[in-house]
Chains A and B, each alone.
Chain A
Amino acid sequence: MIDNNIVEKAKDGNIHAFEEIFKKTNKGIYNFILNLSSNRELADDLTQETYIRAFRSIKSLKSKDSINSWLHRIALNLYRDEIKKPKLNIKSIDDNSENNDIIEEITDWTRNPENIITDDELQHVVKNAIQSLPEIHRAVVTMHHIEGMEIDDIAKVLKTSNGTVMSRLARARDSLRRKLAFYEGKK
């Protein structure tokens, strides 16, 4: 939780206050972009760009808005702009050929002769399964499960209703259940 006074100081151009905001939010923003893009270099660049844009436009932040949601919205918009660029050679989230590799990896895991999965392996499998989801589901899953954001805040990031967020979350969980069906009982 970020103190309102810090936000107000940052709005007045206080870079130290802005640094406080950065310290408290950068891990979430970096991981949000990383989970969307599966690309560390891009996550690094877009995290920097997110905070630079945020500093320049922080005066437009309304008092009722959560700064964390606002930062996520900037990050998401930057990510969406980035994937529209034709030159970019990052893994396309909705590209079936790319997703096939991830699905293949999940399937490979089922060939484990022991049929036992360690926690690290399981996390790796779940991570890959999340990355094979469409962007709208991946964003919701990342914000809710990995970052622990409330449905209200996610709805503000995506500029949609709470019902839509919950529906996407439900579809994402169902999709992951299908992808990870073999996991059941193997741990």
Chain B
Amino acid sequence: MIKCEKIQKMLPDYSVGSLSAKKREFIEKHIQNCPECLKQLEHLNNIASLMDKMPQEEPPSHLWANISERITNYEEDSFWQKSFGWLWEKRIPALVSGFVMILIIASLYFLLLKPPEKMDKSIYKDIGQHTYSRWNNPLTDRVALGMIVVKNEFGDEINETNR
């Protein structure tokens, strides 16, 4: 009886042919003298045979028409995507974003960070004179500085007057 239980546990694997030769031989030897285990094996095999004969249903006839329509539509879409899609999907947003960023930065630069007016090169000479004279007499510092300011503010007028 214990042997039958052991055999019957192995019968499904035996019926699908997944047991080793040794186990197969063990089972085959047993079922020759055991009608109960043989009956169970036959039952398993009958079920397999029944399933093999199970008819398949016919698929609906509209299947291919629907599939080919969807495939064709997809292909038409993909033609436009292949031709121009890359502009929209990848390049255009990047270009637009880049352009907008440049505009924003340029606007900020011109509106907020207005560059200083170009300085008259002669001012460098004045600064040099001022620095030099400052070494010798601290009082000249203010005088020299005043000269620079006056020259920058009224440089053009002074130049015209000098002419």
Binding site for B on A (CB under 8 A): 15, 18-19, 22-23, 26-28, 30-31, 34, 43-44, 47-48, 51-52, 55-56, 122-123, 126-127, 130, 141, 145-148, 163, 166-167, 169-171, 173-174, 176-177, 180-181, 184
Partner of B44, one of A166, A167, A173: A173
Judge if B63 is at the interface, Cβ distance under 8 Å.
yes
Shortest CB distance A182–B (Å): 11
How many contacts A-B (CB < 8 Å)? Answer: 101
CB distance from B76 to the nearest CB of A (A): 13
Query: Which A residues are in CB contact (< 8 Å) with B11?
Result: 174
Closest A-B pairs by Cβ, 8 of them: A145-B51, A170-B12, A30-B59, A174-B12, A166-B18, A31-B56, A170-B13, A170-B16
Q: Bound complex: CA of A31 vs CA of B56, how far in Å?
A: 6
Complex CA–CA separation, A167 to B10 (angstroms) = 11
A31 partner residues in chain B, CB cutoff 8 A = 56-57, 59
Given A51-B67, A52-B67, A52-B71, A122-B50 contact (CB < 8 Å): yes
The verdict on A145 contacting B68 (CB below 8 Å), with A30-B59, A47-B63 known, is: no
Write out the residue numbers on chain B whose beta carbons fall within 8 Å of the beta carbon of A30: 57, 59-60, 63
Chain B, range 36-89, C-beta contacts under 8 Å to A: 39-40, 43-44, 46-48, 50-60, 63-64, 66-68, 70-72, 74
Residue from A34, A48, A123, A174 within 8 A of B55 (CB atoms): A123
Q: Tell me the residues in window 104-151 of chain B with beta carbons closer than 8 Å to chain A beta carbons.
A: none
Beta-carbon contact of A27 and B59 below 8 Å: yes
Do the beta carbons of B16 and A141 come within 8 Å of each other? no
A171-B64 in contact (CB<8A): no
State in angstroms the CA–CA spacing of A176 and B44 once bound together.
8
A173 and B56 contact, CB distance less than 8 A: no
Residue of B nearest to A180 (CB): B47
**Given A30-B60, A48-B66, A126-B47, 18 additional A-B pairs, CB 8 A:** A19-B64, A26-B64, A44-B60, A44-B63, A48-B70, A52-B74, A122-B50, A123-B53, A123-B54, A123-B55, A146-B56, A166-B18, A173-B12, A174-B44, A176-B51, A177-B44, A184-B39, A184-B46
A30 to B67, alpha carbons, bound, how many Å?
Answer: 13
Return chain A residues, CB-CB under 8 Å to B18.
Answer: 163, 166-167, 170
B residues in contact with A174, CB < 8 Å: 11-12, 44
**B13 x A48 contact (CB < 8 A):** no
A166 to B16, CA, bound (A): 7
Bound-state Cα–Cα, A42 to B144, Å: 94
Return chain A residues, CB-CB under 8 Å to B44: 173-174, 177
Q: Are B55 and A173 in contact (CB under 8 A)?
A: no
**Within 8 Å of chain A (Cβ to Cβ): is B35?**
no
Contacts of B51 in A (CB 8 A): 126, 130, 141, 145-146, 176
Residues of B near A27 (CB, < 8 A) are 56, 58-59
- Please name all residues of chain A whose beta carbon is closer than 8 Å to the beta carbon of B48 when the two chains form the complex: 145, 173
B15 in contact (CB, < 8 A): yes
Q: Are A173 and B54 interface neighbours, CB within 8 A?
A: no
